[in-house]
A and B are shown apart, each in its own frame.
Chain A
């Protein structure tokens, strides 16, 4: 028997009490010690609970035993580990939290030793042979989280001393359950954090790694999501030797849902850019794609332009996006407003094209509303006028400096950074 116990509760050393014919107090001490050692090593909860029941058999002999825990809904108690019941392997004993002896113990946070279960009104029998029963609550931080239940096939099988032993083990069980629950939460939080980091890396990979290098031009793009993952998208897409696609888009909302739409949008757009030169088909196609795949729930404002770097001309479609700003060398402002409604809302929306020339010394600024609306939730919007003033003041700087300064000032303008939306800036300078 000692060897058997040692096998089931691996930390019991059979040599310690060798030759002593199983005095309960010594066995109890060994069992308690073995369980403590298991707890110190963060083994899984069920292993600890099983070791409690298996070890207990030799300290407080029983015919059936179970450790029951209250479910998350606080309505059902369910056996976590059992011994001696006639149950299919995976089947569990379940009962309502306010019924039977177990229910009484849980409701009163007190143990009960029943000499004859036949005398108990409303007794719920899980085994017809059971005559006496001992139940103690498992208490964690003043809250009953379950109970340990022992059943015997003879009358008055359990003594007061047994009740005390069971109390001691119930406190071990509470620690095991607490550990397992905290551990599960930590694991979940870590896993979520890891997945978020991966999502962030994927999203960064979906954005341009570096700006294009084209003689006579200076390009820069910058994206700062408000959370790990964002709903803004920008792209430089080489189409031909002379034609460069310039995209900026803002998916409504932020965080992971917006990030998922952003990834779909990028794929839908790039596929169409690769297969057709007709900008109308590109935008109408993406509009259909978004409408069909997300209904009117998700929508996107987008600007798609193609810069012909030999003729210095931009053809574009603005699908409901904040107007890109073209600043000429002489300080004139032109807004790129031609196009049609935002994407994903109106099934057969029509889009017109706009055309604009990029004179030497002019700068095209594209941005998402996270820039101009920084601080708006607090009633002090960064605003387009301030943006235009900044652009004029920074005109002599490189494209990257302009983009960085604008993003920085917009962010600093917002009194509460939690209210900030995703922020994206693209700057194209014709030198």
Chain B
């Protein structure tokens, strides 16, 4: 997994790339989130457009991320969810738990001011 974090105004955008399979990937994701949450970031968009594949352990990364952000009184949204991830979210019935958007822009626009 590769991770790229950038800030767009008050929104943190985390772009994930490659295969997401849990383990060390989880720490990298959590550390990035924590670093920005500690600086006061409350809005997070996770861009999944370039994720090739994700298994259920990888799903744990998103679940853990959502919990971390919520605990910091923030909001986390998903953007560009691929078919594979969508079907994983369907099977695990977490599709309602995550707020998913077609593009990063619509995800950013959806944060209530």
Contacts and interface: CB of A to CB of B under 8 A. Distances in A.
Given A253-B22, A339-B93, A377-B21, A345 B56 contact: no
Contacts of B53: 376-377, 379
Most chain-B Cβ atoms within 10 A of its Cβ — which of A342, A346, A369?
A342
B94 interface: yes
B19 A346 contact: no
B93 A340 contact: yes
A296 B97 contact: no
Interface string B4-39: 000000000000000101100000000000000000
Contact of B93 (A341, A376, A377): A341
A341 B55 contact: no
Nearest to A369: B56
Contact of A377 (B19, B63, B64): B19
A345 B91 contact: no
B63 A321 contact: no
Contact of B63 (A299, A323, A376, A421): A299
B103 to A, nearest CB: 26
B94 A320 contact: yes
B94 A341 contact: yes
A402 B55 CA distance: 25
B64 A253 contact: no
Nearest to A346: B97
Given A297-B64, A421-B55, A321 B94 contact: no
B93 A252 contact: no
A373 B55 contact: yes
Interface string A252-270: 1100000000000000000
B67 interface: yes
B74 interface: no
Contact of B57 (A253, A341, A346, A376): A253
A379 B22 CA distance: 17
A272 B21 CA distance: 32
Interface string A291-322: 00001110101000000000000000001111
Contacts of A377: 19, 21, 53
Nearest to A377: B19
A299 B55 CA distance: 13
B60 A252 contact: yes
B64 to A, nearest CB: 6
A236 to B, nearest CB: 24
Contacts of B64: 296-297
Contact of A322 (B19, B52, B91): B91
Contact of B22 (A252, A319, A342, A373): A252
A407 interface: no
A62 B103 CA distance: 81
B33 to A, nearest CB: 14
Given A322-B91, A339-B93, A301 B21 contact: no
A320 B21 contact: no
A339 B92 CA distance: 10
Contacts of B94: 320, 341-342, 345
A296 B92 contact: no
A373 B92 CA distance: 15
Nearest to A320: B92
B13 to A, nearest CB: 23
Most chain-A Cβ atoms within 10 A of its Cβ — which of B52, B91, B93, B97?
B93
A297 B59 CA distance: 11
Interface string B48-75: 0000110111011001100100000000
A78 interface: no
B55 A342 contact: no
Nearest to A376: B53
Contacts of A30: none
16 contacts: A250-B56, A252-B60, A253-B22, A253-B57, A297-B64, A299-B63, A320-B94, A321-B91, A322-B91, A337-B91, A339-B93, A340-B93, A341-B97, A342-B92, A345-B63, A369-B56
B91 A323 contact: yes
Given A253-B22, A320-B91, A296 B63 contact: yes
Contacts of A369: 55-56
A376 B52 CA distance: 10
A321 B53 CA distance: 18
A232 to B, nearest CB: 12
Given A341-B92, A377-B19, A252 B97 contact: no
Contacts of A321: 91
B57 A252 contact: yes
Contacts of A319: 93
Contacts of A301: 56, 91-92
Contacts of A340: 93
Interface in A349-370: 369
